């Protein structure tokens, strides 16, 4: 029976944090494999336009940035596999991962699973996901040419994606739970687009409404008066924040905070020796791509030191 391979480094996720870490580890000839369950580049790859990433004076498309990071990591020898990590535990001197039901062993691990879109949790949201309810304007906006849309969310993401969707939609109703919280730059752009975007503040979404399995709008309620009304639209895009992708750590020895983010020391090492964390899934992360990239570089250097200490 052949001896099972023990990888030097296994990275869970293939977003900007992990891809950056992989560039650093593979350049130093540390054998590295990444497991990604969805899309290489993570949420960055589904972002239409990134204006605040250093080095791109005119901004960069999220998919372009993700592709360039992937190509750079693969050029140095990083191996990217598609698979879902379901469990992680220490087994003697190695770390054992369950990937799509199979066992994978590693000397060190980087968790860089990022975050996922927060859900409203209202009737109709789950039932009509991808059939009128969406969380990615870049992915699905083009389906709504000459249509009316609802965008839920008053932060940077909500406003930015609403602005992007004006390329397709005839009109957008932007539903905001309290007040707009976007940056001044985005608020100025929103004002310039007021002929196509109507902002509704202090409203709650009670239900996403469909007729004959076709989304026709949303029932909303004024947060202060409880007055209900109906906003008609052909689709609903939701951007109300992010939650960490740490479900697979529920039964592990890796410490999480109250919100499910991974705790780490100053070396970005978790409570499980040899397991490090980087990016949006880390407690205290700023949810910025540039910060995730910095995390990835730091984690890679600390993982190299950890591996050298075990030789």
Mean pLDDT of 95-117: 96
Whether residue 152 lies inside any domain: the answer is: yes
- Same-domain check for residues 75 and 216: no
- Same-domain check for residues 100 and 163: no
Categorize the per-residue pLDDT at 6 as very low, low, confident or very high, splitting at 50, 70 and 90: very high
Taking 50 as the threshold, does the pLDDT of residue 56 lie above it? yes
- Same-domain check for residues 147 and 206: yes
What per-residue confidence (pLDDT) applies to 1?
Answer: 45
Domain boundary (179, 206, 238) is at 238
For 284-295, write each residue's pLDDT tens digit.
998 899 999 999
Task: Return d(Cα 114, Cα 98) in angstroms, integer.
Answer: 19
- Same-domain check for residues 183 and 274: no
Domain boundary (178, 212, 238) is at 238
- Same-domain check for residues 282 and 179: no
Mean pLDDT of 168-177: 98
Domain boundary (208, 238, 268) is at 238
- Same-domain check for residues 109 and 67: yes
- Same-domain check for residues 132 and 174: yes
Categorize the per-residue pLDDT at 176 as very low, low, confident or very high, splitting at 50, 70 and 90: very high
- Same-domain check for residues 86 and 137: no
Percent of the chain with pLDDT over 70: 99
For 205-245, write each residue's pLDDT tens digit.
999 999 999 999 999 999 999 999 999 999 999 999 889 99
Range of the domain at 82: 6-116+242-309
Taking 90 as the threshold, does the pLDDT of residue 57 lie above it? yes
- Same-domain check for residues 17 and 99: yes
The residue ranking higher by pLDDT, 82 or 139, is: 82
Strand order in the sheet with 148-152: 133-134, 235-238, 148-152, 171-175, 197-200
- Same-domain check for residues 203 and 262: no
Mean pLDDT of 98-127: 95
Q: Kindly report the CATH number assigned to the domain that includes residue 62.
A: 3.50.50.60
**Contact criterion met (CB below 8 Å) for 46 and 53:** no
- Same-domain check for residues 112 and 247: yes
Phi, psi of 259 (to 5 degrees): -95, 0
Mean pLDDT of 138-162: 94
- Same-domain check for residues 136 and 219: yes
Count of the separate structural domains present in the chain: 2
Whether residue 144 lies inside any domain: the answer is: yes
Mean pLDDT of 235-262: 94
- Nearest C-alpha neighbor of 268 from the set 86, 18, 90: 18
Mean pLDDT of 29-50: 91
pTM of the predicted model over 0.85? no
Mean pLDDT of 76-97: 95
CB proximity list for 132: less than 8 A, separation 6 or greater: 208, 210, 214, 215, 234, 235, 236
What per-residue confidence (pLDDT) applies to 2?
Answer: 54
**Contact criterion met (CB below 8 Å) for 112 and 18:** yes
Average pLDDT of every residue of the chain = 95
Whether residue 1 lies inside any domain: the answer is: no
Write the Ramachandran bin of 30: left for phi over 0, alpha for psi from -120 to 50, otherwise beta. Answer: beta
Taking 70 as the threshold, does the pLDDT of residue 93 lie above it? yes
């Amino acid at each position: 029976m052949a001896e099972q391979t023990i990888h030097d480094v296994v990275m869970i996720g293939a977003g900007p944090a992990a891809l950056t870490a992989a560039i650093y580890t593979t350049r130093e000839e540390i054998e590295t494999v990444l497991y990604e369950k969805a899309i290489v580049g993570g949420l960055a790859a589904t972002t239409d336009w990134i204006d605040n990433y250093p080095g791109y004076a005119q901004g960069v498309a999220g998919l372009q940035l993700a592709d360039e990071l992937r190509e750079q990591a693969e050029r140095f020898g990083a191996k990217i596999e598609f698979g879902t990590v379901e469990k992680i535990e220490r087994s003697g001197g190695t770390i054992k991962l369950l990937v799509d039901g199979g066992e994978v062993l590693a000397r060190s691990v980087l968790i860089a699973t990022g975050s996922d879109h927060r859900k409203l949790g209202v009737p109709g949201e789950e039932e009509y996901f991808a059939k009128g309810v969406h969380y990615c304007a870049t992915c699905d906006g083009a389906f709504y040419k000459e249509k009316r849309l609802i965008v839920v969310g008053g932060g940077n993401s909500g406003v930015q994606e609403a602005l992007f969707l004006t390329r397709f939609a005839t009109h957008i109703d932007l539903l905001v739970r309290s007040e707009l919280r976007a940056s001044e730059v985005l608020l100025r752009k929103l004002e310039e687009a007021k002929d196509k975007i109507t902002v509704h503040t202090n409203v709650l979404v009670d239900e996403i409404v469909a007729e004959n399995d076709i989304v026709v709008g949303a029932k909303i309620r004024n947060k202060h008066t409880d007055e209900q009304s109906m906003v008609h639209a052909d689709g609903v895009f939701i951007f109300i924040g992010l939650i960490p992708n740490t479900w697979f750590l529920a039964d592990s020895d890796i410490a999480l905070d109250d919100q499910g983010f991974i705790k780490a020391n100053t070396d970005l090492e978790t409570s499980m020796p040899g397991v490090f964390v980087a990016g949006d899934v880390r407690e205290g992360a700023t949810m910025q791509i540039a910060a995730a990239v910095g995390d990835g570089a730091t984690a890679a250097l600390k993982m190299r030191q950890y591996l050298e200490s075990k030789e």
